[in-house]
Amino acid sequence: METVTPKRFTFGEFELDVVRRSLYRDGEQVALNSRAFDLLLELVNSHGQIIGKEELLDRVWAGQFVEEGNLTVHISALRKIFGEKKDENKFIATVPGRGYSFVAEMARPDEDESLVVSQSVTRIVVEEEVDDDPPEAAQPQLTFQPTLLREQRRRRFVMAACAV
CATH of the domain at 104: 1.10.10.10
What is the reported pLDDT for 58? 92
Task: Specify whether 55 is located in the same domain as 127.
Answer: no
What is the reported pLDDT for 65? 87
- Provide block-wise average pLDDT over 10 residues at a time, the chain (164 residues): 70 91 93 93 93 93 88 93 87 92 82 47 64 58 46 39 42
* Per-residue exposure over 41-60, b if at least 16 CB sit within 10 Å of its own CB, e if not: bbbbbbeeeebebeebbebb
* Count of structural domains, the chain: 2
Full-model pTM: 0.63
Task: Specify whether 88 is located in the same domain as 132.
Answer: no
What is the reported pLDDT for 49? 95
Task: Specify whether 23 is located in the same domain as 83.
Answer: yes
Check: CB of residue 25 under 8 Å from CB of residue 14: yes
Q: What is the span of the domain harbouring residue 153?
A: 120-163
Q: Give dist(CA 67, CA 133) in Å, integer.
A: 47
Torsion angle in degrees (nearest 10) through CA of 38, 93, 56, 22 = 0
Task: Specify whether 91 is located in the same domain as 141.
Answer: no
Q: Give dist(CA 49, CA 100) in Å, integer.
A: 8
